[in-house]
């Protein structure tokens, strides 16, 4: 694996410098946080470095290494792993940085001591300086479990401290843990074996991995890896020692302390799990589709955005710019009842009376105002697709509230521990399309952000699984921003268009994945996933996560919105937009049965998918035309950001195939639907 | 280490029962796990031959959820079929 592979983008965090990914020449000591998935590494990293990293309650949240600094140390957060080896990409990434570490802070979930100590022992056997953090002290108390940290420390030969990452209890001891990290007690027999390898591979840590049959590390040193039997032997021996240690240090006071979570049990069984899923989805859809997209957005977009922001901005511009303004007064059915046009060749500044008149009439509740600026540049920035007016309204007053609500919903699903259970429930269903239950995680995350979800396809095992999941994401999953716009377009249209939309997209999803499952070689790998405890999402983490994701989204999105608006604006002013519209006209009007301006949405959609969907607002469409348009836009090419990430994750060839197929698929399916329903 | 040796070569005591057929709510002992990546992954999660496990759920289609101590693990049908168990 190239070093550059380690420097993976996660979200908008500080990243390792590409020139020197592991800080090899840095004199600062490297402190690496290592632990099983879901043990609270990221919260501790967050505390130490002040760098925010996404925290969730499911395995695979951290797919990359994040670097921060704390006092005189460089601190690294790593993906959760059950052991150091190179079974998949996540593990390779983690193994590399663990090998480089000066000090390892091994974070352990006290509830799952038996599982987590396996990694602890391995780290100690690697000869690393280690301190152990027993996290989730609060959960232990709730369940009447006691762990004798002193005894554990004696057995392991390293410092062991208790913390509760969520409430930050015990964090004041982290300094002590870092400063007092040391080599633990070595397993004598194993140690002797490792010495034979030592002179060939350089470090005890690597010697251990080679002895355990790690092909990647072995290849690096040109030595023969240990056999599968050797590995099993070492693993079983380690497992037995872990079990022994646990029986020494852990006491469960009462058998009633055993965790039993009814909801968690019900959520995995299809008989109860499918209704639970449907209820959850309905609640989310109701909250977002009705409360947020109807009521809140109606207020933010129409009142704040159009009535105040755009109104005053345009009025200010009209003060000096030459323009014609048409004010239409609408009746209850939105038909134009009365129309008045103001012609101000020198702007309102020289026509004060006309301005007063305009302000009176344009402030009536049923008034609709259209500006026709004469100067093309003024039109470019303040006109119908105005780079400034339209972009700001869409971004701040339409998308922002919707994206926030989607991210809150996603964060709740993630933090509750529901996702791995959903993965379990859908495992057999997904087997049929060549995936296992784990694939549900990237697919569901895609409803938040397809770009981010594409990165998490890494937690799947085989290339085939990754390709199928990637195709599902890129072709069929609308991201939160796009969904937001779609739910606004669909809201109030009744049940039928929604049903058609979902049915068509779902059919396409099944067809693509079934097709790929047939064509690509290999079988689905069986599911093997640990189910974290179900817990109430913590509000502060929920808000923090939503805030950072929204911030990251806006920071990335606004540039593309301005670029897209500028592109459309320039195309419009130069007349190229009409050329493009005419070119696509046979497809748009005859095949898709949409007005030819709908082609604008496709131009915009190449920049950002949601932007494409938003472009449909400007056009008068019937309900069925909206249905066809959103189906086409959903299946259309992924946004630039997703496209770039896909090229990186899946390779140029696969990326380009997906991108070009999206054109064909979108127009084919959209048109087919149009021929049937319009 | 001696112990491990014995476990490694332990014969399957009760033939014929595999994890996918485990009855919900019953305890059993893992008798055999096929060699390979999954075995190693299971060992790391805390499941190895000789361990006492409870079957929490059997989902339609054969996905099995087992629990050892407090740790719950979901195992897909195709893997469960390969794992031999013995009732206690």
The minimal CB distance from B65 to the residues A112, A424, A524 is found for A424
Tokens of B67: 């629990």
Tens-place pLDDT, residues B42-85: 888 888 888 888 998 888 888 999 988 778 899 999 999 999 99
Most B CBs within 10 Å, among A260, A437, A528, to test the B interface: A528
CB contact under 8 A, B63 and A427: yes
How far does the CA of residue A92 sit from the closest CA of chain B (Å)? 15
Indicate whether A416 and A444 sit together in one domain.
yes
Question: What confidence category does residue A658 fall into, taking pLDDT thresholds of 50, 70 and 90?
Answer: very high
Each residue's pLDDT tens digit, A558-601: 887 788 778 878 887 888 878 888 888 888 899 999 998 888 88
Lowest mean pLDDT among A199-203, A417-421, A512-516, B22-26: A199-203
Task: Report pLDDT digits (tens) over A281-302.
Answer: 888 877 877 788 778 888 888 8
Distance from CA of A235 to the nearest CA of B (A): 7
The whole-number average pLDDT for the span A51-75 is 70
Look at A558 and A181; give whichever has higher pLDDT: A181
User: In terms of domains, do A427 and A360 share one?
Assistant: no
Distance CA(A271)–CA(A258), nearest Å, equals: 25
Q: For residue B80, which residues of chain A lie inside 8 Å, CB to CB?
A: 526
* pLDDT higher than 50, residue A548: yes
Pick among B40, B41, B49, B80 to test the A interface (most A CBs inside 10 A)? B40
- Which one of A119, A236, A424 has the shortest CB-CB distance to B74? A424
Is it the case that residue A258 has pLDDT exceeding 60?
no
Q: Is residue A291 part of a domain?
A: no
A486/A402 same-domain check: yes
Residue A641 has pLDDT above 80, yes or no: no
Q: If 0-12 CB within 10 Å is exposed, 13-18 middle and 19+ buried, where does residue A58 land? A: buried
- List B52's β-bridge partners, or say none: B29
A181 lies in the same domain as A39: yes
Give me the number of domains chain A comprises: 3
Chain-chain contact of B38 with A529 (C-beta, under 8 angstroms): no
Nearest CB to B74: which of A271, A429, A529? A529
Q: Quote the minimal CA–CA distance from A429 to chain B in Å.
A: 8
Q: Mutate which of A209, A232, A277 to test chain B, going by most B C-beta atoms within 10 A?
A: A232
Contact B76 A111 (CB under 8 A): no
A427/B74 touch (CB, cutoff 8 Å), yes or no: yes
* DSSP classification of residue A478: P
Whether the predicted pLDDT of A10 surpasses 80: no
Nearby residues of A414 by Cβ (< 8 Å), 6 or more positions away: A56, A57, A58, A61
Tokens of A481: 């921003």
Contact at 8 Å (CB) between A636 and A658? no
Residue B5: band (very low, low, confident or very high) from pLDDT cuts 50, 70, 90: very low
Q: What percent of chain A has pLDDT over 90?
A: 24
d(CA A85, CA A82): 9
Report chain B residues whose CB lies below 8 A from the CB of A237: 1, 4
Arithmetic mean of pLDDT, B32-40? 86
Domain shared by A503 and A422, yes or no: yes
Smallest CA-to-CA distance from B75 within B65, B85, B60, B67 is with B65
Q: What is the pLDDT of residues B75-84, one digit of tens each?
A: 999 999 999 9
Helix axes A623-635, A652-677, angle to 10 degrees: 170
Q: Would you state the pLDDT for residue B3?
A: 46
Q: Strands, E, within A112-242: which ranges?
A: 129-135, 145-147, 159-162, 182-183
Please say if the pLDDT value at position A63 is more than 70. Answer: no
pLDDT given at position B8: 45
List chain B residues with CB under 8 Å of A119: 44
In a domain, A522, yes or no: yes
Nearest-10 Cα torsion for A301, A302, A306, A309: -60
For residues A318 and A312, what is the distance between their CA atoms, to the nearest angstrom?
10
Q: Where does B1-88 show beta strands of DSSP type E?
A: 27-32, 52-58, 64-68, 71-75, 84-87
Q: In chain B, what residues touch A271 (CB-CB under 8 Å)? A: 60
Which pLDDT does position A184 carry in this prediction?
92
Q: How confident is the model at residue B16 (pLDDT cuts 50, 70, 90)?
A: low
State whether B60 and A111 contact (CB < 8 Å). Answer: no
Domain that holds residue A544: 392-677
Q: Name which of A85, A423, A531 is nearest B73 (Cβ-Cβ).
A: A531
Q: Which of A186, A220, A238 is the last residue of a domain?
A: A186
Render pLDDT for A363-397 as a digit per residue (tens, 0 to 9).
888 888 888 888 888 888 888 778 888 788 878 88
How many CB atoms sit inside 10 A of residue A572's CB? 18
Could you write out the DSSP letters of every residue in A491-510? TTS-HHHHHHHHHHHHHHHH
Distance CA A674, CA A593 (A): 6
Per-residue confidence (pLDDT) for residue A414, from 0 to 100: 81
**Per the CB < 8 Å rule, is B76 touching A240?**
no
- The C-alpha atoms of residue A405 and residue A301 are separated, in whole angstroms, by 15
Q: Do the Cβ atoms of A533 and A261 come closer than 8 Å?
A: yes
Chosen for mutation from B5, B44, B47, B57 (greatest number of chain A CBs closer than 10 Å) is B44
* Per-residue model confidence as pLDDT tens digits over A476-494: 999 887 887 888 888 777 7
What domains, with CATH codes, occur in chain B? 2-87 (2.30.30.90)
Closest CA to B82 of B15, B10, B7, B19: B19
Of A45-59, A100-114, A452-466, the range with the highest mean pLDDT is A100-114
So what's the pLDDT on residue A17? 37
Mean pLDDT in residue range A659-668: 93
- Between CA A164 and CA A236 the distance in angstroms is 31
How would you classify residue A76: left for phi > 0, otherwise alpha for psi between -120 and 50, otherwise beta?
A: beta
Same domain, A340 and A427: no
Whether the per-residue pLDDT at B13 is higher than 50: the answer is: no
* Residue A58: predicted pLDDT: 52
Say if A66 falls within a structural domain.
yes
Pick from B57, B51, B47: nearest CA to A261: B57
Among chain B, residues having any CB pair with chain A shorter than 8 Å are 1, 3-4, 7-8, 35-46, 48-49, 56-57, 59-63, 65, 68-80
**pLDDT confidence bin for A55, thresholds 50/70/90:** low
Q: What's the length of chain B?
A: 88
Both A370 and A469 in one domain: the answer is no
Separation in Å, CA of B54 to nearest CA in chain A: 13
- Determine the distance from the C-alpha atom of residue A373 to the mean position of all C-alpha atoms in its chain, rounded to a whole number: 41
- B6 contacts in A (CB within 8 Å)? none
Residues A605, A613 contacting (CB under 8 angstroms): yes
* pLDDT mean over B3-8: 45
Closest CA to B73 of B51, B42, B49: B42
Q: What are A15-36's pLDDT values in tens digits?
A: 333 344 444 455 789 999 999 9
Query: Distance (Å, rounded) from C-alpha A146 to C-alpha A664?
Result: 61
Query: CA A498 to CA A270: how far, in whole Å?
Result: 24
The secondary structure element, H or E, covering residue A128 is none
Report the gap between the CA of B76 and the closest CA in chain A (Å). Answer: 4
More confident: A75 or A640: A75
Cross-chain CB nearest to B1 (options A115, A237, A431): A237
> Are residues B41 and A82, on separate chains, in Cβ contact within 8 Å?
yes
- For residue A32, give the CATH number of its domain: 3.40.50.300
Query: Does residue A242 belong to any structural domain of this protein?
Result: no
- Whether A406 shows a pLDDT value over 50: the answer reads yes
**Distances, alpha carbon A26 to alpha carbons A23, A30, A50, A105, B43, in Å:** 5, 9, 20, 19, 37
Q: Measure the CA–CA gap between A570 and A576, rounded to whole angstroms.
A: 8
pLDDT of residue A230: 84
The residue of A94, A113, A115 whose CB has the most chain B CBs within 10 angstroms, and thus the best one to mutate to test that interface, is: A115
Measured between alpha carbons, how far is residue A165 from residues A79, A171, A351, A492, A529 in Å? 17, 8, 66, 45, 23
Residues A366 and A503 placed together within one structural domain of the fold:
no
Asked if residue A194 belongs to a domain, the reply is no
Question: In angstroms, what separates the C-alpha of A615 from chain B's closest C-alpha?
Answer: 44
Reply yes or no on whether the pLDDT at A4 is more than 60.
Answer: no
| CB-based contact A118 B62, cutoff 8 Å | no
pLDDT, tens digit, 9 for 90 and up, residues A78-133: 888 888 988 777 788 888 889 999 999 999 999 888 889 999 999 999 999 999 99
Asked if the structure places residue A212 within a domain, the reply is no
- My answer on whether A463 and A351 are in the same domain is no
Is residue A8's pLDDT more than 80?
A: no
* Predicted ipTM of the assembly: 0.81
Phi, psi (deg, nearest 5) at residue A71? 50, -125
Q: Return the residue matching tokens 């029986």.
A: A247
pLDDT-derived band at A9 (thresholds 50, 70, 90) equals very low
Q: What is the pTM of this model?
A: 0.74
Show residues of chain A in contact with B60, CB under 8 Å. 270-271, 428
Do residues A307 and A301 lie in contact, with contact meaning Cβ atoms separated by under 8 Å?
no
Whether residues A566 and A629 share a domain: the answer is yes
Q: Are the C-beta atoms of residues A362 and A369 closer than 8 Å to each other? A: yes
Question: Which tops the pLDDT comparison, A356 or A25?
Answer: A356
Q: How far is B15 from chain A (nearest CA, A)?
A: 23
Residue A423 domain-assigned (yes or no):
yes
pLDDT recorded at residue A519:
93
Q: How far apart are CA A671 and CA A146, in angstroms?
A: 64
Report pLDDT for A221.
Answer: 85
* Mean predicted confidence (pLDDT) in A500-519: 94
Is residue A553 included in any domain, yes or no? yes
Residues A527 and A400 in one domain: yes
Q: What is the arithmetic mean of pLDDT over A413-426? A: 88
Name the residue facing A528 among B68, B69, B76 (closest C-beta): B76
Give φ, ψ of B48 to 5 degrees: -140, 175
Minimum distance, in Å, between the CA of residue A292 and any CA atom of chain B: 36
Output the pLDDT for position B7.
45
Mean pLDDT of chain B: 80
Claim to verify: residue A75 and residue A180 sit in the same structural domain: yes
Instruction: Output the pLDDT for position A678.
Output: 83
Instruction: Give the residue carrying structure tokens 């131009």.
Output: A603
Q: Do B59 and A437 touch (CB under 8 A)?
A: no
State whether B61 and A427 contact (CB < 8 Å): yes
**Using the beta-carbon criterion (under 8 Å), do B74 and A436 form an inter-chain contact?**
no
**A418-427 burial, b if ≥16 CB within 10 A, otherwise e?**
bbbbbbbbbb
Identify the helix (H) or strand (E) that includes residue A251. strand A250-252
For B7, nearest residue in chain A (alpha carbons)? A236
A416/A468 Cα distance (integer angstroms): 27
**Residue in chain B nearest A422 by alpha carbon:** B74
Tell me which H or E stretch contains A73: strand A73-77
Radius of gyration of chain A measured on its C-alpha atoms: 29
**Start-end of H helices in A417-538:** 418-425, 427-431, 440-446, 450-456, 463-476, 480-490, 495-519
- Helix, strand, or coil (residue A328): strand
The helix (H) or strand (E) run that includes residue B62 is none
- At residue A54, the pLDDT reads 62
Q: Give the model's pLDDT for residue A333.
A: 73
């Amino acid at each position: 694996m190239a070093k550059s592979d380690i420097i993976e983008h996660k979200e908008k965090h500080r990243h390792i410098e590409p020139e020197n990914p592991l800080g090899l020449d840095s004199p600062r000591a490297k402190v690496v946080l290592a632990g099983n998935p879901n043990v609270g590494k990221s919260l501790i990293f967050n505390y130490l470095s002040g760098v925010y990293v996404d925290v969730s309650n499911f395995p695979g949240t951290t797919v990359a290494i994040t670097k921060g600094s704390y006092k005189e140390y460089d601190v690294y957060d790593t993906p959760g792993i059950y052991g150091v080896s190179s079974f998949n990409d996540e593990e390779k990434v983690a193994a590399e940085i663990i090998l480089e570490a000066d000090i390892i802070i091994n974070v352990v979930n006290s509830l799952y001591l038996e599982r987590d100590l396996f990694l602890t022992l391995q780290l100690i056997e690697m000869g690393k300086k280690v301190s152990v953090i027993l996290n989730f002290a609060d959960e232990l108390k709730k369940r009447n479990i006691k762990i004798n940290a002193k005894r554990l420390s004696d057995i392991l030969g390293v410092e062991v401290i208790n913390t509760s990452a969520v409430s930050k209890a015990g964090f004041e001891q982290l300094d002590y843990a870092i400063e007092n990290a040391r080599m633990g007690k070595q397993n004598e027999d194993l140690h002797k074996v490792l010495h034979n390898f030592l002179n060939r591979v350089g470090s005890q840590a690597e010697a251990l991995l080679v002895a355990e049959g790690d092909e990647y590390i072995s290849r690096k040193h040109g030595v023969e890896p240990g056999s599968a039997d050797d590995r099993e032997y070492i693993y079983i021996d380690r497992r037995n020692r872990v079990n022994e240690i646990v029986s020494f240090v852990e006491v469960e006071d009462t058998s009633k302390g055993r965790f039993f979570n009814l909801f968690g049990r019900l959520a995995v069984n299809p008989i109860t799990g499918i209704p639970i899923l449907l209820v959850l989805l309905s609640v989310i859809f109701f909250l977002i589709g009705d409360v947020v997209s109807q009521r809140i957005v109606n207020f933010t977009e129409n009142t704040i955005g159009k009535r105040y922001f755009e109104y005053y901005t345009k009025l200010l511009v009209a003060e000096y710019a030459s323009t014609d303004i048409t004010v239409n007064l609408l009746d209850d059915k939105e038909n134009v009842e009365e129309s008045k046009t103001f012609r101000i060749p020198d702007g309102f500044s020289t026509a004060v009376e006309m301005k007063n008149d305009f302000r009176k009439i344009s402030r009536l509740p049923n008034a609709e105002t259209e500006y026709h600026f004469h100067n093309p540049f003024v039109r470019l920035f303040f006109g119908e697709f105005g780079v400034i007016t339209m972009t700001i309204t869409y971004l701040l007053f339409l998308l922002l509230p919707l994206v926030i609500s989607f991210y809150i919903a996603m964060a709740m699903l993630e933090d509750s521990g529901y996702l791995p259970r959903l993965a379990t429930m859908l495992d057999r269903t997904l087997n049929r399309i060549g995936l296992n239950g784990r694939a549900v995680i990237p697919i569901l995350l895609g409803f938040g952000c397809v770009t981010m979800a594409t990165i998490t396809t890494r937690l799947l095992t085989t290339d085939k699984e990754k390709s199928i999941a990637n195709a599902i994401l890129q072709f069929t999953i609308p991201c939160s921003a796009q969904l937001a716009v779609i739910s606004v377009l669909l809201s109030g249209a009744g049940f039928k268009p929604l049903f058609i939309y979902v049915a068509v997209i779902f059919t396409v999803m099944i067809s693509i994945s079934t097709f790929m499952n047939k064509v690509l070689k290999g079988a689905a790998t069986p599911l093997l996933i640990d189910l974290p405890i179900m817990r109430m999402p913590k509000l502060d983490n929920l808000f923090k996560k939503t805030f950072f994701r929204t911030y990251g989204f806006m920071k990335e999105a606004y540039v593309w919105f301005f670029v897209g608006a500028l592109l459309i604006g320039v195309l419009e002013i130069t007349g190229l937009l009409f050329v493009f519209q005419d070119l696509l006209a046979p497809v748009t009007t005859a095949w898709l049965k949409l007005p030819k301006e709908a082609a604008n949405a496709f131009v915009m959609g190449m920049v950002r998918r949601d932007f494409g969907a938003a472009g449909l607002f400007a056009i008068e469409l019937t309900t069925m035309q909206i249905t066809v348009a959103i189906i086409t836009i959903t299946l259309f090419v992924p946004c630039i950001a997703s496209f770039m990430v896909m090229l990186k994750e899946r390779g140029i060839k696969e990326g380009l195939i997906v991108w070009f197929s999206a054109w064909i698929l979108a127009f084919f399916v959209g048109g087919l639907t149009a021929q049937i329903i319009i | 280490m001696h112990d491990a040796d014995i476990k490694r070569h332990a014969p399957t005591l009760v033939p014929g029962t595999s994890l996918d057929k485990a009855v919900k709510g019953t305890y059993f002992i893992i008798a055999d796990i096929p060699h390979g990546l999954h075995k190693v992954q299971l060992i790391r999660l805390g499941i190895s031959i000789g361990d006492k496990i409870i079957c929490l759920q059997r989902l339609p289609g054969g996905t099995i959820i087992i629990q050892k101590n407090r740790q719950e693990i979901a195992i897909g049908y195709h893997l469960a079929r390969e794992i031999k168990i013995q009732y206690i």
